[in-house]
Structure 1
Amino acid sequence: MEYLSFYDHLAEQWPTSSESRIVDTTFGQTFIRIQGPLDGAPLALLPGDTETSLSWLPVIEPFSQSFRTYAIDHIYDNGRSIYTRVMSRPKDFVDWLGDTFDELGIDRLNLVGYSYGGWQAALYSLAHPGRVARLVLLAPSSTVLSPDPIMFARAILYYFLPYRFVAGNYFRWYGPDAMKEDRTRSRIDEMVEEDLLARRCFKPRTFVPPTRLTDANWGELRVPTLFLVGENDRTYCAQRAVDRLHRVAPAVEAKVAPNTDHYILLVSPDWVVRNTLSFLKESGR
């Protein structure tokens, strides 16, 4: 398959030795990259929409020095996971993650989710607080605030018009800071190419829109949580998101990365690593 050849070529950049594992769930087979010390605390990594475990390339090496990391290919998206059951509601993601962690034999773990994966991580932590030691939300889709109307309109055009010009325009608009340097700009170009390949090679899926957690949801969240977002994120206003968290969930630690857009893992990997590891290594890990 053309897409998997492209995917495997990208996987050659994975900077640390790892093992691959496929686990069976009620939604199908989930592909996971596992690395780090055997006695390290479990750390699961959930990618964003249209992304895969490879989105953690910029940070996987430092994450895996102390933690047993599990970088997951979403089962209902691009990558090597294979779904056999359509995901149609938010609870499906919670159930799938529960199945995945059960099959891995993990009772309690740290959970880091980026973008769409951040929303899933938040849902899982609300449903199973006893299984999550610490939660890190990296620019989570919705979750804190609903998408900006301009972003929402552009996303609809991108979703329904699968053309190179439309996809390229959307990805580049979404990452103004990523477009400033050759290293990150080339990765955006790869993401556009991967997106177009995936659209040709996979059958269309029904997208489950991420939801905004209510004030009550945030009040019920009992897991120690870190929220990280770029100051130039196009999804929603970073400062408004932080202000809301300070108001409805003051226990959540919130930080804003300067000169950073939604592609926070690409643009500010060192900042993400420093803040994430500091939070995860606090007492009570």
Structure 2
Amino acid sequence: MSVNSIWNDLVGASVGYRGTEFKTRVIEAGEGEPLILMHGNGGHAEAYSRNIMRLSRHFHVIAIDLLWHGFSSGRPFTTEMVPTYAEQVVDLMDSIGADTAHLEGESLGGWVSMWTALHHPDRVGRIILNTTAGAVVEEGHVTPEQLAAGDSLRERSLAAIGDPTRETVRKRLEWLMAEPDRVTEELVTLRQFFYRRPETRDSLVNVMRNSFRSDSPHRITPQMLGRIRQPTLVLWSDHNPGTGPQFGRKLASLIPDAQYSCIADAGHWPQWEKPEEHDSLVTDFLRA
């Protein structure tokens, strides 16, 4: 009987560190064009554990811990989070000798992908916005659903980081899934490990307190979306909390060279919940 396991899924990948200015923890595999995978708020590289090896058949896949998450380090906390994450991505590319890379970001990672594409356009190939956070599709308007989802995630996140019991960590992870039983015991244990690590915990408290501001100066506005020139796949799900398929379609319509796909029966982590479908869509898009 096959067993779904992060360990089994990552057999053949390597775990290490890249970067010069930043010490970025990476899980990587494969050869060819670089594809950098970025997790969401409070996450870590293993958010893509079910995708790395399959995608590595075609690309040099690098899943990372964003700064102040996991084991990545390199700069004291700053409220200039999103621009700093973009600097981290460019530093990683420099360290592997890559002029350009494709970017996929889930939630916060999608926000970083958009910011990097806008502010370092010559370094970015194609981008995949996987249930991305950080964008508004109507000028100056964050929807009530977005605010409610952000409040719920912040509350669960701070509870899990402040007291990382199996119950609080599981509740935080269940927010990500269309069905709560998709949160494995192994995933709870791994996330609990990171939240109990003093350096990570202290950093994440600052991250969570500053990530859900409706007045963030780094929000991606409709005008900014219109300046994204990279071919873009807006990859959504039918049960994404706070921003459903209608939001995803509107987002795609504001990016000049974008296409839209929606994965059924998935929440905020379609790459985990429906990995084969996710990987097929991403591979077809990047190889088009």
TM-score for the superposition, normalised by structure 1 = 0.82
1:119-140 superposed Cα distances (whole Å, 9 cap, x missing partner): 1011001112221111111111
CA separation of 1:174 and 1:76: change in aligned 2, threshold 3 A: same
Matched, 1:171 2:149: no
Match in the other structure for 2:43: 51
Q: What is the CA distance between 1:11 and its match in structure 2? A: 5.3
Matched, 1:156 2:158: no
Residue identity in the other structure for 1:227: V
Match in the other structure for 2:67: 75
* Percent of aligned pairs with the same amino acid: 18
Match in the other structure for 1:31: 25
1:271 aligned counterpart, secondary structure: helix
Q: What is the CA distance between 1:170 and its match in structure 2? A: 3.5
The 8 Å contact of residues 46 and 117 in structure 1, kept in 2 or not, is answered as yes
Alignment partners' CA distance in 2, 1:274 and 1:60: 12
RMSD: 2.6
The structure 2 residue matched to 1:252, chosen from 250, 258, 264, is: 258
1:220-249 superposed Cα distances (whole Å, 9 cap, x missing partner): 100000011111011422222313432x22
1:70-108 superposed Cα distances (whole Å, 9 cap, x missing partner): 221212212x22233323213222222222211221101
Alignment partners' CA distance in 1, 2:198 and 2:15: 28
The 8 Å contact of residues 34 and 61 in structure 2, kept in 1 or not, is answered as yes
2:224 aligned counterpart, secondary structure: helix
- What is the number of equivalent residue pairs in this alignment? 265
The 8 Å contact of residues 106 and 269 in structure 2, kept in 1 or not, is answered as no
Match in the other structure for 2:215: none
Q: What is the CA distance between 1:272 and its match in structure 2? A: 0.7
Q: What is the CA distance between 1:199 and its match in structure 2? A: 6.2
The structure 1 residue matched to 2:237, chosen from 226, 230, 233, is: 230
Q: What is the CA distance between 1:159 and its match in structure 2? A: 3.7
The 8 Å contact of residues 19 and 94 in structure 2, kept in 1 or not, is answered as no
CA separation of 1:69 and 1:170: change in aligned 2, threshold 3 A: closer
Alignment partners' CA distance in 2, 1:194 and 1:250: 42
The 8 Å contact of residues 237 and 244 in structure 2, kept in 1 or not, is answered as no
Structure 1 unaligned runs (5+)? Answer: 1-8
- Structure-to-structure mapping, 1:147-226, within 5 angstroms: 148-161=146-159, 162-163=162-163, 164=165, 165-177=167-179, 179-181=180-182, 184-186=183-185, 189-190=188-189, 193-194=192-193, 196-198=195-197, 202-205=201-204, 206-207=206-207, 208-209=210-211, 211-226=218-233
1:70 aligned counterpart, secondary structure: strand
Structure 2 unaligned runs (5+)? Answer: 213-217
Residue identity in the other structure for 1:232: H
Alignment partners' CA distance in 2, 1:200 and 1:29: 14
The 8 Å contact of residues 35 and 64 in structure 1, kept in 2 or not, is answered as yes
1:136 aligned counterpart, secondary structure: strand
Residue identity in the other structure for 2:211: P
